[in-house]
Amino acid sequence: MSDATVLIVDDEVGFVSTMSKRLNMRDMVVYTAYEGAAAMRQLAEHADIQVVILDMKMPGKDGLTVLQEIKELYPLVEVIMLTGHATVPTAIEGIQHGAFDYLMKPCSFDGLTEKILQAVALKEEHEGEAIEARVSDIANRMA
Partner 1 sequence: MHPEKKSSYEGLSRNIVLTVITVSMAPLILVGGLIFHQFRSIYRVKVYSHLCEVVDKHKDTVNTFLLEKLNEVQYLSRAYSYAELTAPGVLSETLRGMQQQYGRIFVDLGIVDEQGRQVSYAGPFNLLDADYAEADWYVNSRDRASSISDVFLGLRQSPHFIISINSEDADRKWTLRATIDFLAFTHLVENIRIGETGYAYILNSEGVFQTRHADNREQRLTLTPVKNIPYPEAPQGVTISESEGSDGETYLTISSDLKNGEWQLVYQQSVADAFSDMSRTENITLLVFLLGGLCIVVMAVVVSRKLVHRCKFIDAESELLNRQMVETGKLAAIGELAAGIAHEINNPVAIMIEEAGWVSDLLEDEGGELPSCSEIDRALAQVATQGRRCKDITHKLLSFARQTDSRVGEVDLPLLIREVVEISMQQARCVRVEFSLDLDESVPSVHASVTELQQVLLNLINNAIQAMESDGGTLAIACFADSSHAIMEVADTGPGIPAANLSRIFDPFFTTKPVGKGSGLGLSICFGIIHQMGGEIDVESTVGVGTRFTIRLPLPHVSHEQKTVAKEIHHV
Residues numbered 15 to 74 that lie near partner 1 (CB under 8 A) are: 15, 18-19, 21-22, 25, 57
Nearer to partner 1, 69 or 101 (CB): 101
Rounded Cα distance, 24 and 19, in Å: 8
Rounded Cα distance, 97 and 18, in Å: 29
Does 136 bind partner 1 (CB under 8 A)? Our answer is no
Tell me which stretch binds partner 1 (CB under 8 A): 33-41, 72-80, 83-91, 117-125.
83-91
Q: Closest Cα partner for 60 from 36, 27, 34, 84? A: 36
Which residues does 90 contact at the CB level (< 8 Å), separation at least 6?
A: 56, 63, 64, 83
**Given 109, 130, 131, 137, the residue binding partner 1 (CB under 8 A):** 109
Rounded Cα distance, 141 and 3, in Å: 35
**Given 47, 86, 139, 143, the residue binding partner 1 (CB under 8 A):** 86
Nearer to partner 1, 8 or 77 (CB): 8
Nearer to partner 1, 79 or 112 (CB): 112
**Number of other CB atoms surrounding residue 45 within 10 Å:** 10
Residues contacting partner 1: total by CB under 8 A: 18
